[in-house]
Structure 1
Amino acid sequence: MRNKVLAQSITFTEEKLKSSLKKIQSNINFAVHSVIYYPYHFFHYDVKAKRIFLPKNEEVGCTVEPVSGIGSLIDYTPKLSSVEISIEKQVPQTYTLEECRTISESFIYQSISLKMKMLSISELIFKYHEFFYRPYWVVTSNNPKEVPDFIVDAVTGQYHPL
């Protein structure tokens, strides 16, 4: 069964990945299997904040991945397109939309006060939400003791252990 969903496009192709892996460790044979799709909630907010000398209105975006509940500030709205993905390739969620929204708000309050050095936040105004998937390549090696299985972000090419 396939679902039509919003997803980021694959920019780090299988060919780029194989070439990159050969350059990194030419003595190990890697197998690039399929693509899996990791779920994310994107929340966009307006922030009306007070700084020491002047008030500031800003926009902020936060993604929360509903598998582990980890939040992240992002500088841009993800470019999404409609794609059909089989259910087997979609990583299941463990957090609800409501839980993820609460996580995003807490994360933004904490991040803004620490990273943006704002004295206080007057108001966090929710603007919109999008649910989307991000593609990852699943990679195995012929030497799992030396190089365990891992995934590679198909948008950026960053490696992540499993």
Structure 2
Amino acid sequence: MTTLTQSISIQPENIINKLKQFDPKANYQIDKLIYYPYHFFKYKMKAKGLLKLDGYLGCTIDSISGQGAIIDHTPLFMEENLHDQPCLPSTLSLQDAKIMAEDFLNHSASLKLKFFSIPKMQLEQHERFFRPYWIIVNQKNNEKYPSIMIDGVSGKYHPLNI
């Protein structure tokens, strides 16, 4: 399956070394690389407030949870064949994700930019893409050392309950 992805910038060896620096007793290892689905939306916005806005606003929508996140620039995508890679399935349709993106951007923009009216938005770009995550597990199965999901692009991590 050829699809859009983001380039891996965090290498597994660096992750393991950082974890060992935090706690030398931890015995983590790379379990696998997975690809997590997202939608990217970029809108042209016009709105009136204390300042007039005439520009672009973008967000990503998590294709499983529906969680939105404002982004400050268009992500760099590359086409990659993920045929042999584990890709988590999306639970959101494009239409549902688009509605969520518009609601999320309207809410976020009105709170942060103090608009007097609902912004006019026109969709400029949409991409469905997969973001790489490393799954890191502790070889000792100790509750003190949970499995971790590490973003392969940013390096941010999330404990897993598996």
2:114 counterpart of 1:128 = no
CA deviation map 1:64-93 (0-9, x unaligned): 011001111100111111111136610111
- The size of the alignment, in residue pairs, is 159
Quote the residue 1:99 is aligned against: 96
How far residue 25 of structure 1 moved from its aligned partner, in angstroms, is 1.4
Quote the residue 1:154 is aligned against: 152
Letter matched to residue 100 of structure 1: A
CA deviation map 1:122-152 (0-9, x unaligned): 4111111011110000011124311221200
Q: Secondary structure of the residue that 1:125 maps to in structure 2?
A: strand
Quote the residue 2:40 is aligned against: 42
Work out the CA distance in 2 between the residues paired with 1:87 and 1:96. Answer: 24
Quote the residue 1:59 is aligned against: 56
Q: Secondary structure of the residue that 2:100 maps to in structure 1?
A: helix
Ranges in structure 1 where 5+ consecutive residues have no aligned partner: none
Work out the CA distance in 1 between the residues paired with 2:99 and 2:25. Answer: 47
Say what the alpha-carbon RMSD is for the aligned residues. Answer: 1.3
Quote the residue 1:113 is aligned against: 110
Q: Which of these residues, 13, 22, 25, is aligned with residue 24 of structure 1?
A: 22
Q: Secondary structure of the residue that 1:86 maps to in structure 2?
A: coil
Contact 1:47-1:121 within 8 A present in 2 as well: no
Letter matched to residue 88 of structure 2: V
TM, length-normalised to structure 2: 0.93
Contact 2:133-2:151 within 8 A present in 1 as well: yes
Contact 1:67-1:93 within 8 A present in 2 as well: yes
Q: Secondary structure of the residue that 1:89 maps to in structure 2?
A: coil
Work out the CA distance in 2 between the residues paired with 1:137 and 1:112. Answer: 32
> Mean Cα displacement is larger for which, 65-74 or 85-94?
85-94
Contact 1:5-1:85 within 8 A present in 2 as well: yes
Work out the CA distance in 1 between the residues paired with 2:150 and 2:53. Answer: 38
Percent of pairs with identical residues: 37
> Mean Cα displacement is larger for which, 85-94 or 109-118?
85-94
Contact 1:28-1:143 within 8 A present in 2 as well: no
Work out the CA distance in 2 between the residues paired with 1:146 and 1:33. Answer: 18
2:69 counterpart of 1:72 = yes
